[in-house]
């Protein structure tokens, strides 16, 4: 399947297919220098496939520390200096092969190297169907996640589905968090279809029909980011579950999508209080428990440190903590949530496991 963005200019293709990596050459021939950056776990699993790509094209390859640990100023400086030592020109392309962490990191290198060179995303996780689209790139700071970054569109996204076969179970669960989020933004039919297909953990781990749901998720995200690239309006909806989720992720170091799922649950409780919605929190709690998300850690959380982290969220303004809430499935809104509502919702969240 091949999608194309619909910006006024600077559009890019999104190719979702088995062996999509074989098409990399089509998109790199025009560059004077091409540097490939690969997540070390991906490199370990797919060494021969990746060797063929770099040897056929004579591209230099850097193997990056796995996952989130690479998104630091320390590694940014290290790899930026290594790149500069290779005397790149503006006609350079960086290729990111890995999950969202590598995509964000390499995208930020590309956004800043010589004030911006092209980059191509080859996402290798389920979650990265989301992160590889839309051009948000960046790294973490001591003050919080993704606080240093840029908007920098990729030149192409080649989503090679073969990579998904080596994903550990926890990464399948993490990625599903964003697939489910996209369905919640789309509407009840999309949510029902997902819940019917993936009704327990074994059915999810088999990844049956995942290609179609990834494409649906990409389409939902594209529909939003093409209209609001710089997150002044509806792009904020994509942060559903992320205000509380980022805080939990930062505090506990659980995978991004696990934390987002807990954030989605929390948001349902906040919406029921603030907007008088009738979300069946018990249904969502039960569904997430059935899939094996670590809901038992909710009991170990404390409100104050999470509140501090939520107060640093980029969506906030002078009115306070801004959160995406579902007025109904498929109908997001962004609201300022008073601290007392956040605290009551937190207590309700903690009580769910005890019912
Ligand atoms: N830019 C955006 O719009 C956006 C959107 C959502 C999330 N994100 C970012 O994405 C990151 C999370 O991405 P992620 O969940 O893909 O995590 P990740 O990139 O940290 O990868 C998770 C783990 O899976 C391993 N891995 C990756 N692909 C593999 C494969 N095919 N086989 C075996 N192991 C593999 C990695 O080594 C790592 O250990 C976070 O940093 C988050 O902030 C960015």
Ligand 1: residues with CB < 6 A are 39, 41-42, 45, 66-68, 71, 98-102, 104, 124-125, 127-128, 130-131, 134, 136, 145-146, 163, 166-167, 171, 174, 256
**Residue 110, CA distances (Å) to 148, 295, 312, 339, 350 in order:** 14, 37, 26, 39, 42
pLDDT at 68: 92
Q: Which two tokens stand for residue 123?
A: 């996402």
How many CB atoms within 10 Å of residue 142? Answer: 7
The closest alpha carbon to 349, from 260, 263, 242, 250, belongs to 263
Spatial distance between the Cα atoms of 339 and 125, rounded to a whole number of angstroms: 35
pLDDT at 54: 79
Question: Going from the N-terminus, what domains does the chain have, and what CATH number goes with each?
Answer: 2-166 (3.40.50.1970), 169-352 (1.20.1090.10)
Q: Calculate mean pLDDT across residues 232-249.
A: 93
Query: What's the pLDDT band for 320 if we cut at 50, 70, 90?
Result: confident
Query: What's the pLDDT band for 232 if we cut at 50, 70, 90?
Result: confident
pLDDT above 90 coverage of the chain, percent: 87
Query: What's the pLDDT band for 163 if we cut at 50, 70, 90?
Result: very high
pLDDT 10s digits, 177-203: 999 999 999 999 999 999 999 999 999
Query: Which DSSP string do the residues of 95-151 spell out, in sequence order?
Result: EEEESHHHHHHHHHHHHHGGG--EEEEEE-SSTHHHHTSS-EEEEEETTEEEEEEEE
Spatial distance between the Cα atoms of 94 and 104, rounded to a whole number of angstroms: 12
The answer on whether 286 is annotated among ligand-binding residues is: no
The answer on whether 74 is annotated among ligand-binding residues is: no
The answer to whether the CB of 60 falls within 8 A of the CB of 82 is no
The closest alpha carbon to 110, from 141, 154, 74, belongs to 154
> Which listed residue (43, 71, 153, 256) is catalytic?
256
**Residue 355, CA distances (Å) to 197, 281, 327 in order:** 27, 12, 25
The closest alpha carbon to 182, from 231, 217, 214, 234, belongs to 217
The closest alpha carbon to 128, from 75, 174, 166, 76, belongs to 174
The answer, as to whether pTM is greater than 0.75, is yes
pLDDT 10s digits, 247-299: 999 899 999 999 999 999 999 999 999 999 999 999 999 999 999 999 999 99
Query: What's the pLDDT band for 58 if we cut at 50, 70, 90?
Result: confident
H-assigned helices in the chain: 24-28, 40-45, 47-57, 73-85, 100-112, 128-131, 169-186, 188-197, 201-205, 210-227, 242-252, 256-274, 281-291, 303-311, 339-352
How many CB atoms within 10 Å of residue 178? Answer: 28
pLDDT 10s digits, 87-145: 999 999 999 999 999 999 999 999 999 999 999 999 999 999 999 999 999 999 988 78
- Tell me the CA end-to-end span of the chain in Å, nearest whole number: 45
Task: Specify the 3-state DSSP secondary structure of 326.
Answer: strand
User: Which ligand 1 atom minimizes the distance to the CA of 68?
Assistant: 20
Q: Which two tokens stand for residue 2?
A: 């091949």
> Which listed residue (33, 43, 136, 152) is catalytic?
136
Spatial distance between the Cα atoms of 109 and 137, rounded to a whole number of angstroms: 9
Return mean pLDDT, the chain. 94
pLDDT above 70 coverage of the chain, percent: 100
Task: Specify the 3-state DSSP secondary structure of 5.
Answer: coil
The answer on whether 124 is annotated among ligand-binding residues is: yes
Task: Specify the 3-state DSSP secondary structure of 189.
Answer: helix
Active site residue 136: yes
């Amino acid at each position: 399947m091949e999608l194309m963005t619909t910006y006024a200019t600077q559009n890019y293709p999104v190719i979702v297919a088995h062996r999509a990596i074989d098409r990399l050459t089509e998109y790199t021939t025009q560059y004077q220098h091409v540097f490939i950056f690969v997540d070390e776990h991906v490199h370990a699993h797919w060494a021969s496939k990746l060797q063929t790509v770099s040897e056929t094209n004579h591209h230099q390859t850097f193997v990056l520390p796995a996952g989130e640990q690479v998104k630091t100023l320390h590694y940014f400086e290290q790899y930026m200096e290594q790149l500069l030592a290779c005397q790149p020109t503006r006609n350079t392309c960086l290729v990111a092969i890995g999950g969202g962490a590598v995509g964000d990191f390499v995208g930020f290198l590309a956004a800043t190297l010589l004030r911006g060179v092209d980059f191509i995303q080859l996402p290798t996780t389920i979650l990265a169907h989301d992160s590889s689209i839309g051009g948000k790139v960046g790294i973490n700071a001591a003050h919080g996640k993704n606080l240093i970054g840029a908007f920098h569109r990729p030149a192409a996204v080649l989503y090679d589905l073969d990579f998904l076969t080596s994903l550990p179970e926890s990464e399948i669960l993490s990625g599903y968090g964003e697939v489910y989020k996209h369905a919640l933004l789309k509407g009840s039919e999309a949510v029902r279809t997902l819940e019917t297909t993936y009704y327990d953990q074994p059915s999810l781990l088999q990844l049956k029909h995942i290609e179609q749901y990834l494409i649906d998720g990409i389409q939902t995200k594209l529909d939003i980011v093409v209209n609001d690239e710089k997150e002044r309006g509806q792009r904020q909806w994509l942060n559903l579950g992320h205000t509380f989720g980022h805080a939990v992720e930062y505090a506990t170091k659980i995978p991004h999508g696990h934390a987002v799922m807990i954030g989605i649950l929390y948001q349902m409780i906040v919406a029921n209080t603030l907007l008088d919605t009738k979300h069946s929190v018990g249904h969502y709690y039960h569904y997430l428990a059935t899939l094996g998300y670590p809901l038992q850690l909710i009991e170990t959380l404390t409100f104050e440190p999470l509140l501090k982290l939520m107060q640093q969220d980029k969506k906030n303004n002078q009115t306070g903590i801004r959160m995406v809430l579902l007025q109904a499935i498929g109908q997001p809104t962004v609201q300022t949530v008073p601290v007392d509502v956040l605290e009551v919702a937190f207590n309700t969240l903690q009580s769910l496991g005890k019912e």
